[in-house]
Each structure stands twice: as C-alpha cells, then as structure tokens.
Structure 1
Amino acid sequence: MESHPMIIDSHIHFWRTKDIPTLAWETPENPLFGTYDLDRYLESILSAPSSYSGFVFVETDRKYTDPKDPSEDLQCWEHVLEEYRFVLSLSKEEEWNDLVRGIVPWAPVHLGREVMERYQKLLDAVDAEIYGEEKHGLLVGFRYLIQDKPQGTASHPKFLEGLEYIRDTGRTFDVGVDCNRHTLWQLEEAVPVLKRVKGLKIVLNHLSKPPLGREPEGGMARWRELMTELAETQAAVKLSGGFSEIPPTLSKEGDGFPEQKMINMVLDYARPLFQIFGASRVIFGSDWPVCGVGYEKITGEQAGAWPEWFKISTAVIKQLKEEGGVAGEPEDWNGIWGENALGVYNLKPQ
C-alpha cells in the first residue's frame, strides 16, 4: 500500500460548551450550535491516513469590542485572549501536544500598529502564564475577517499599519473574503493593500470562498485578474472551505454525496488558482467543523464531512497534476498535504 504524504490540517476550529456564549455568530438556530471540541474533531478524522500529523487552529470569531484606551484592552479582548489561552494550554498536555502545530488567533489589525503592539503584550502574558520562559513557537499568524466588515475596512491606513506590524513580526496573515455572498469588492479593496506590504506572508482562506457552480458576480475574468495580482505577493491559498459554498441546486445522489459533481465545481476554481500560484503555494485544510454544515444539507448529517472533503481534495489534486499546466515538483504536490504549510506558517518540525 502506497504511503500518504504527511498531513497537516491547516484550518480547523473547535470550542467547548462554556465557550458558546462568547462566539459572535452562535445562536440556537445556527447549525453549528453546540459543542465542537477536540475530541469530536479527532472522531471525525478516524479514517485519516497514519501520516496525519496535527493541525493549525484558526480563531473562531469570538466576541470583542474596540477599546477606547489601553485601560479597556483586557475587557474588550477577554474572549479572544481566553481562546488563545485554551488552545495554548492544550499544547502543553501530553495527549495533545504533538497535534497542535500552530495557532492563528484573531488580532485588531484594523486598529493599527500601536494597538497591535498592545495586543501582542497581552498574548505574551498568556505565553508566560502557560509556558513560563519557554519559547513555544506556536503563535504562527493572525487572522482578521474582511468578509463581514463594511467597505473601507481593508483600505483604511490603520489596516495597512496592522499588516506592516504582522510582517515585521515574521508571522502570517490569514485573510478571509467571501466571493460567493458578495461581489468582488472585498478582493478589489484588499489586494492592493496586501501588495503594498512587501514581505508579508499571506494565506487566502478557502479558495476565496467562490460561488461554486457559477461565476462570481463581477465576472470570472476579473476574479482571475485579482488572483494573479495577489500571487505577486508571498501569498498561499488554502484548498479548503468548499462545502460552505455548495449551491442550493446540488442534491443527494442515491444514498451518497454527489462527489463527482462537487469535484468538478471545485476544479472550476482550483484549476486557475493552481495555475496562478503553483503547487508549492497551495495547502490543504478541512475547515472543520464548518465543513459539516454544507455537507449536512446534502446528506442529513455532519458526520462524514472531513473524510469526504479529504477524498474530494485528493481527486482535485490528482486531476490537476495529471492535466499539467501547474508549476511544481513532485515534492510540491506532495507538500500540499502538509509540508507546504510548514513553510507558509513557519511551523516547528516534529
């Protein structure tokens, strides 16, 4: 049996029962209302190859407010700091420490350098609380979602300052846009700013959340232009998040998920992204447990979403490699599963 390349799931979320009131988006009506903890995630990946080697935790959009002055920082950022403390604490437990490969917390990028520096000091205090003087290297990046913010957020001078601060720390910026539920304005606003911050390491979440099964509002040609511009930076792209963009027309086939239809729709966007960025700048992620929402709409249950996305990702990578037209050595293609993420996030090797 052929061995599988090392797997690092570069995009997962989880939370405990007590965290539910602190999630900005959580309501009883939400399909993700409930407890999605690390134990539940590990149950979902039981079928993963033995080469599975951990995950990168990405912030879950906790509630926060913007402080008016430094005296309000702890109160305003209480929940995001607790999330960082929780995941960092897991990395100290013998049962989990090999699994937590990196942490990408939220950060007040929109408030500029001075506020980012204050925020970093609070993260440093959590580091000292959990690790003492030991250096852990798990804080590998920051994320700030543009997808739910008003126009003008990414183009504001303070946002540029925040990005420059991240660049200067050597960490990565995870950017979240939504080309499915919006036009291309988020990309059109963000890409020029990202290009201005020379040397910033960027990760585009979820293939830009494209409208699977149709062209984006604004046109496929314009979307490709923006992706080509983004590729002029040190950006990588996550092969993740596809189940969240399933069109309402997709339906169950027999007793199973319509796998081939899904593969074809993902290929419509993955193909140009692979061609533009090359295999060495693509990384695999599941977006668990969010991947279960779209999957549940088709199958009636969330269980099975992780292995199904793994199968679809495998098929997409295999077909694009066979088609040709994508830059990349064999190690770059194998690296999509995990090795590429080591460089993108500067993860510590095990």
Structure 2
Amino acid sequence: MASHPMIIDTHIHLWRTKDISTLAWETPESPLFGTYDIPRYLKSIASTPSSYSGFVFVETDRKYTDPKDPSEDLKCWEHVLEEYRFVLGLSREPEWKGLVRGIVPWAPVHLGREAMERYQKLLDAVDAEIYGGEKHELLVGFRYLLQDKPQGTASLPKFVEGLEYIRDTGRTFDVGVDCNRHTLWQLEEAVPVLKRVKGLKIVLNHLSKPPLGREPEGGIARWRELMTELGETQAAVKLSGGFSEIPPTLAKDGDEFPEQKMISMVLDYARPLFQIFGASRIIFGSDWPVCGIGYENVMGEQTGAWPEWFKICTAVRKQLKEEGGVKGEPEDWDGIWGKNALSVYNLKPQ
C-alpha cells in the first residue's frame, strides 16, 4: 500500500486554561469552554497517517484594543503578544519538536503601516526572548478577521496600508469572511481591496465559510464571480472549516455521521473553488478544535471531528480529481495535504 503524502494541518488553534479569559468569544456557555492544548490535539488526530508533519497555528481571536498612542501598545496588545509567546515557546520544547511548522498571529492591519511596524518590533522582542539571536522562520503570516467587523473596514486607507506592509514582508495575509451568517458584502468589499494590493499572498480561510446545503444570500452565481476575481490574485484557499457551517437540519444516520450528505454539500462549494484556483492553490486544514462544534451538534460529542473531516476532505479531493476540469499535476493533488502549504506559507522544510 502506497504511503500517504505529507500532511500539514494548516489551521489549528490552541489555548491554555489561563488564556480562557483573554479569548474574545469564550464564555462558560461555549461548547469550547476549556483547555485545548497540544496533548489534546494529538489525541484527536491519533488515527492520522504516519506522514503527518505538523501544523500551522492560527490566531485565536484574543482580546485587544486600539492604542491611542505608541505608549499604549504593550497594554492594548498584551494578550495577542502573549499568544505569540506561548506558541513560539511550544516550538522550543523538545517534546513537541517539529510540530509547530508556522505561526499566523493577529495583527493591527486596520491601523496601517506605522502601527504594523511597531507591532513587528514587539514580535521581534518576543523572538529575542524565546530564541535569543537564533532565526526560527516560524512567523509566516498575519490574520485579521473581517467576519465580525463593521462594513467599510476593508476599504479604509489604513487597512490597505496594513496589507501593503504584509506584502512587503513577503508573509501571507489570512482573511476570514463569513458567507453563511452574512450576505456577500464582506467578499464584495474585500476582493477589490485584495486585488488592489499587487503581489500580496492571500489565504482565504474555510472556503469563505459558505452556507452548506443552500445558496448564500446574494446567490451562488455572485459568490462564484467574486471567487473568480479573487482567483486573479496570489490567493490560496483552505479546505477547512466545513463543520462550522453544517445546517441545523443535518442529523446523524443511526449511530454514524451522515458522511455522504456532508461530502455532497462540501462539493457544491469546493468544486467551483478547485476549478477556479486549481489543485496547487488548495491546502488542507482542520480548524481544530472549532471543527468539533458542528460535529458535536450532530453526534453529541466532539471526539471524532478531526478524523471525520479528514475523511470528508479525502473523498472531496478524490471526487474532483476523477471528475476532471481542475488544473493540477499529480504532485499538486497530493500537495493539497501538505506540500502546497510549503509554498503558500513559505514554510521551512524539515
């Protein structure tokens, strides 16, 4: 039996018990209230093929405020800086050696270039604290969620400045929009801005968070037009986040997860994205532990979400490869699991 291609999970979140109060969305009522650390993650992926080769950590929406002047930077950004310190520290622990392949922290993109430069100096100070003078190459991009921001945020001049700064560093910009709980206005605002910043490396999170099982408000044709426009940039798309968009009507089939129904719903959106971006610009991610929420709504527990999503992604990839109509060499299709992420995020090879 042929070995599985290299696997890099390009989208996971981690936090400790002491971090809970610093998460902007966490409450005691949340299904994710608790500690989600590396041991818990590794337990969730225990059935993964031996070709598993680590993960990319993505910021977890820590609390922050906007400083009125540079003297307030440390206070306003203390929680996001602590998150970076925490994950960078994990990469130094012998027990987890090689697991942390990249880190995508939050950044004050909306405050412009000058604020981004100040923020980078604070990240550099954390680097010096954890790594001394050693270069680690783990800071591979920045993320800023548009899905919970006011209309007009992405088109502000300062936001464009922030994107231009990211481009000039050669790092990626992870963008989060939500086409399920909102209309298409976030994409309609963001896509022209992302196209405007020539040379920016973009990663679209979670297939754009589409409303699985139905069309987005604004229509699937308009959604596809926007995705086609985004495809004209240097954007990649994460095959991730599907369980968060499960319709409330989806119920388990006996004692099993309704895998075929889920595959069909994901294909409705993955198919046009594969056709637009090609296999070389698709990367696998789990969105752990958030993937457990929708899965738990169906199955009554979070356990099993990671391997089930992996199975669904395997079936989606197989179906689309067999159908044809998607650009990509065999290595690009295999690269969806990990190798494509090496170039998308400029990850250091092992």
Check whether TM > 0.5: yes
User: Where does residue 34 of structure 1 map in the other structure?
Assistant: 34
Q: Deviations over 1:29-72 (max 9, x none)?
A: 11111111111000000000000000000000000000000000
Amino acid corresponding to residue 333 of structure 2 in structure 1 = W
User: Where does residue 123 of structure 1 map in the other structure?
Assistant: 123
Distance (whole Å) between structure 2 residues aligned to residue 220 and residue 69 of structure 1: 44
User: Where does residue 17 of structure 2 map in the other structure?
Assistant: 17
Is 2:341 the counterpart of 1:341? yes
User: Where does residue 306 of structure 1 map in the other structure?
Assistant: 306
Matches within 5 A, 1:1-350: 1-350=1-350
Partner secondary structure for residue 103 of structure 1: strand
Distance (whole Å) between structure 1 residues aligned to residue 306 and residue 146 of structure 2: 26
Distance (whole Å) between structure 2 residues aligned to residue 3 and residue 271 of structure 1: 26
Distance (whole Å) between structure 1 residues aligned to residue 197 and residue 130 of structure 2: 32
* Cα shift at 1:149: 0.3
Amino acid corresponding to residue 171 of structure 1 in structure 2 = R
Distance (whole Å) between structure 2 residues aligned to residue 38 and residue 107 of structure 1: 24
* Cα shift at 1:95: 1.2
Partner secondary structure for residue 147 of structure 1: coil
Distance (whole Å) between structure 2 residues aligned to residue 330 and residue 2 of structure 1: 14
TM-score using structure 2 length: 1.00
Distance (whole Å) between structure 2 residues aligned to residue 36 and residue 129 of structure 1: 24
Runs of 4+ in 1 over 6 A off after TM superposition: none
Distance (whole Å) between structure 2 residues aligned to residue 346 and residue 163 of structure 1: 18
Distance (whole Å) between structure 2 residues aligned to residue 159 and residue 308 of structure 1: 37
Q: Deviations over 1:307-343 (max 9, x none)?
A: 0000000000000000000000000000000000000
TM-score using structure 1 length: 1.00
Distance (whole Å) between structure 2 residues aligned to residue 15 and residue 262 of structure 1: 29
Partner secondary structure for residue 106 of structure 1: coil
The percentage of counterpart residues that share the same residue type is 89
* Cα shift at 1:97: 2.3
Amino acid corresponding to residue 25 of structure 1 in structure 2 = W
* Cα shift at 1:139: 0.1
Distance (whole Å) between structure 1 residues aligned to residue 230 and residue 278 of structure 2: 13
Partner secondary structure for residue 153 of structure 2: coil
* Cα shift at 1:260: 0.2
Partner secondary structure for residue 95 of structure 1: helix
Amino acid corresponding to residue 205 of structure 2 in structure 1 = N
Amino acid corresponding to residue 122 of structure 1 in structure 2 = L
Distance (whole Å) between structure 1 residues aligned to residue 52 and residue 126 of structure 2: 28
Partner secondary structure for residue 235 of structure 2: strand
Partner secondary structure for residue 348 of structure 1: coil
Distance (whole Å) between structure 2 residues aligned to residue 292 and residue 115 of structure 1: 35
Q: Deviations over 1:102-123 (max 9, x none)?
A: 0000000000000000000000
Q: Deviations over 1:182-202 (max 9, x none)?
A: 000000000000001100000
Distance (whole Å) between structure 2 residues aligned to residue 68 and residue 38 of structure 1: 36
Distance (whole Å) between structure 1 residues aligned to residue 247 and residue 27 of structure 2: 23
Distance (whole Å) between structure 2 residues aligned to residue 241 and residue 97 of structure 1: 26
* Cα shift at 1:2: 1.9
Amino acid corresponding to residue 167 of structure 2 in structure 1 = R
Distance (whole Å) between structure 2 residues aligned to residue 101 and residue 113 of structure 1: 27
Amino acid corresponding to residue 194 of structure 1 in structure 2 = L
Distance (whole Å) between structure 1 residues aligned to residue 152 and residue 255 of structure 2: 46
Distance (whole Å) between structure 1 residues aligned to residue 276 and residue 95 of structure 2: 40
Amino acid corresponding to residue 73 of structure 1 in structure 2 = D
Amino acid corresponding to residue 50 of structure 1 in structure 2 = S
Q: CA RMSD in A?
A: 0.4
Q: Deviations over 1:149-183 (max 9, x none)?
A: 00010010000000000000000000000000000
